[in-house]
Amino acid sequence: MARNTVYIIGAGASFEAGLPVGNSLKHEIARILKMEFEHGSFKAGNYELYQTLRRHANNNTEVKEYLQACRHIRNNMPLAISIDNFIDSERGNEKLALCGKIGIVDSILKSEKISKLFFERYRGSQTINFSALESTWYLPFFRTLTENCRAEDLAERFSSITLIIFNYDRCIEHFLHNALMSYYRLSEGEAAEHITNLTFIHPYGTVGSLQWQDRASSTVMEYGGDIQTNQLIEYAQRIRTFTEGAHSESMGTLKSNMKNAERIVFLGFAFHRLNMELLSLTDLDRYENPVAIECYATAFKTSKSDQESISSSISHLYKGELKINIENMTCSNLFSDYSRSLGYA
């Protein structure tokens, strides 16, 4: 029987598909929030966002407060670790948080559209160009999930797998849906049904539901879809930052599946303290696991000292023994070097 496996996914995993992280993401958010004025009149930048904020605000004073928040974010992105960290530095400032999240949503949707996973469904393309993913972790991940597995066996295999995704994008869901359709010759509905056997948890939400996930949602957005500026506020309100905390409805499943994990795989995860606390079990749930839990983690471009710190933070997740393997490598290389250890067959 397949071991209960929890994949914990961070921004570094999406980077392999072409989504921005670090300075490039901060630069894009600053560009989106650029609005310049001269003698009280709009001069340059994102005019549509300016009009959207004007309609959203209750009065001129609030308009000025939103514009000041956007300017404050733009000016300080070079100083910030990330946009989430910057919002955290002014926790409780709802206007600044909303402006930051507008930048997040707009930048991620634009990034999805230029990623290696995007294809233009309505211009002749039928699926992802899988050959373009050879240097990423997505292909070996799919091979691992489906090794020696017929379509009728997927439900049992997938039932043991949890993906806790700290990113706002939908890269993994989009990839798996298209890969299953292609590999097993499934319809869109059949592939979507198989995916329901996997447990997906986005503690901080996503930039929208994919069309095959929830057509009734008010925030449906196809992968890499074009969002109207006047929709940004509604979509931005769907996501949370680590300052605001995770969506409570997902926490019960997260804690339960972490408690029952036999193998944990960290991919492109930054091991931020607040996120590690979110993964931690309560004192009542922490127990002496009878068998050592296997842990594998990427820590790309980190020092030996930082790897030791990461190992220590992982070890505090459980009371019992953990076999921790931390590697200074990409997500793709982890699957290559640990193909047997990460397998299910």
Q: Considering only the C-alpha atoms of the chain, give the largest distance between any 2 of them, rounded to a whole number of Å.
A: 70
290, 320 Cβ separation under 8 angstroms: yes
Within 8 A by CB and 6+ apart from 106, the residues are 32, 227, 232
Q: What is the pLDDT of residue 1?
A: 47
Q: What is the pLDDT of residue 202?
A: 95
50, 42 Cβ separation under 8 angstroms: yes
Instruction: In whole angstroms, give the CA distance from residue 229 to residue 206.
Output: 17
How far from 39 is each of 36, 43, 52, 138, CA to CA, in Å? 10, 9, 21, 51
The more confidently predicted of residues 214 and 108 is 108
Closest CA relative to residue 117, chosen from 104, 130, 126, 134: 130
Average pLDDT along the chain:
91
Q: What is the pLDDT of residue 281?
A: 79
Confidence of residue 242 (pLDDT cuts 50, 70, 90): confident
- Of 32-36, 49-53, 108-112, 238-242, least confident by mean pLDDT is 238-242
Closest CA relative to residue 313, chosen from 301, 299, 300, 333: 299
Which tens digits make up the pLDDT trace of 164-212? Answer: 999 999 999 999 999 999 999 999 999 999 999 999 999 999 999 998 9
b/e burial code for range 310-327 (CB count within 10 A of at least 16 → b): bbeebeebbeeebebebb
Map residue 184 onto helix, strand or coil: helix
Instruction: In whole angstroms, give the CA distance from residue 81 to residue 338.
Output: 31
Q: How distant is the alpha carbon of residue 103 from its chain centre?
A: 15
Tokens coding 339: 């193909």
How far from 178 is each of 50, 147, 173, 187, 308, CA to CA, in Å? 37, 17, 9, 10, 38
Give CATH for domain 5-19+121-205+240-337.
3.40.50
Torsion of CA 21, 43, 227, 208, to 10 degrees: 50
Q: What is the pTM of this model?
A: 0.92
Average pLDDT over residues 238-246: 81
Neighbours of 36 (CB within 10 A): 11
Average pLDDT over residues 96-110: 95
Ranges for all domains in the chain classified under CATH 3.40.50: 5-19+121-205+240-337
Tokens coding 279: 């993964």
Which tens digits make up the pLDDT trace of 292-339? Answer: 899 999 999 999 999 999 999 999 898 888 999 999 999 999 999 999
Q: Is the pLDDT of residue 283 over 70?
A: no
What are the backbone dihedrals phi and psi of residue 38, each rounded to the nearest 5 degrees, phi first? -140, 120
Percentage, residues of the chain above pLDDT 70: 94
Confidence of residue 286 (pLDDT cuts 50, 70, 90): low
β-pairing, 41-45 with 35-38? antiparallel
Closest CA relative to residue 304, chosen from 327, 324, 273: 327
